A = this chain, B = another copy of it.
Amino acid sequence: MTSFTDHDDLKHLDEKDPLRLVKQRFLIPDGVYYMNGNSLGPLSTDAKTRMDKAVSEEWGHELIKGWNTAGWYDMPKRVGDKIGTLIGAKPGETLLCDSTSVNLFKAVNAALSIQKGRKKIISESGNFPTDLYILDGTRRFSKGEYELATLDRSEILNAIDEETAVVVLTHVHYVSGEIFPMKEINLRAHEKGALVVWDLSHSVGAIKTDLEGSCADFAVGCGYKHLNGGPGAPAFIYAAKRHHAQIRQPLSGWFGHEAPFSFIDDYIPANDARKLLCGTTGVLGASALEAAVDLFLEVREEERLEKLYRMSRLFDAMIAEKCSPYGFERVSPPDPENRGAHLSYRHPDGYAIMQNLIAKGVIGDFRAPDYLRFGISPLFMGYEDLLKVTDILEEILKSKSYEAAQYQVKHAVT
């Protein structure tokens, strides 16, 4: 028994955890250890209460007036600015809208619109697939104007050159949890005249992210992972203020118009970041997300990050002690501050092990060929939970119970 496995010590950490009351606001089912907030964050009482209100009071009672009286019309900017405080954006730079994929298309094309004459788009091979797919769509529809170079992450920095129009990277890798040095890449890109679009899907609500301090140009990100906004929650888009006047983007729907309710035939883009909006705001999804983000704003970021790093270190140390002997191998970087808010491990029987874990209430996920991912949340998990999870995992590995089970491959959404 090491200190890691001492329930009393961990209980004590939980008791003096400044976020312990926040944890109680998440509605995790009994017997579940939820380590998949990096795929879909859990429901909070805040989001549930807000959804009841959005449905019954706002939609049900205010009806069409809700666009004014319930503040629906201002949601993209209002909720966007709240998310902006979590990623180091200034007010007016972040908007809630659409999906991450649609926003990436807008952000990349907005960047390209001010990069005349440059042909090259750079991204990482093994980047989150939808990012690469959207870049493929952009390249294909440019009819040869742009070419896409997908490179190993080690090659990215040196590949940025005077022909590079845009670099599109995911800040925290969805499998390994590795973090790109945002500021270094932005500065190198700017030195060469290139622009950078960051996908913050695994950063926002998870790790320290400072767009302004990193001289960022554009970013997008997801509302349904660490932000706990609900399944398929709306996403966000960010553009640094210095780019607002010049950019254009092709999804020029009415919510991006200077005066959406003037009902004129000619498109005149809004004179600020709202030109990145397209269609009508998905109010119900945005309502759940706003409540979930409000909960973040109640929490001191330092406390959240301190707990994250401590939990991340602790979990990895317990896995090393209890599971390495059975072939568990860490994929994520060793230092908690240099990885995202999930930890990935490899094991040849990873799929069967994860199915066994899920059957015993530990919800992580599996990525082919042999990765097991465990999300770490300082908001809805406690220290003792980590010990219980690693006890269950150790027991599965020790008994090899996973070898006996039958498994079916099903869909899984990251």
Contacts and interface: CB of A to CB of B under 8 A. Distances in A.
A126 to B, nearest CB: 7
Interface residues of A, number: 95
Contacts of A367: 263
A102 B279 contact: yes
A176 interface: no
Interface in A223-274: 224, 230-235, 248-257, 260-267
Interface stretch (A132-140, A296-304, A334-342, A384-392): A132-140
Contacts of A59: 40, 42-43, 230-231
A299 to B, nearest CB: 21
A7 to B, nearest CB: 25
Contact of A413 (B61, B67, B101, B257): B67
A56 to B, nearest CB: 7
A101 B257 CA distance: 12
A137 B232 contact: no
Interface stretch (A26-34, A154-162, A192-200, A203-211): A26-34
B235 A413 contact: no
Contact of A101 (B60, B136, B224, B254): B254
Interface in A177-214: none
Contacts of A280: 99-101, 224, 232, 413
20 contacts: A32-B63, A34-B63, A40-B63, A51-B55, A52-B52, A64-B412, A67-B411, A67-B412, A98-B279, A99-B280, A100-B279, A101-B251, A130-B254, A133-B253, A133-B257, A134-B253, A140-B248, A232-B281, A232-B282, A282-B282
Interface of A: 27, 29, 32, 34, 36, 39-40, 42-43, 47-48, 51-52, 55-56, 58-61, 63-68, 72-73, 98-102, 105, 109, 125-127, 129-130, 132-134, 136-138, 140-141, 143, 145, 150, 224, 230-235, 248-257, 260-267, 278-286, 288, 358, 363, 365, 367-368, 410-414
Given A137-B249, A231-B283, 11 more contacts: A42-B59, A64-B413, A127-B265, A129-B257, A133-B253, A133-B256, A232-B286, A234-B282, A284-B284, A284-B285, A285-B285
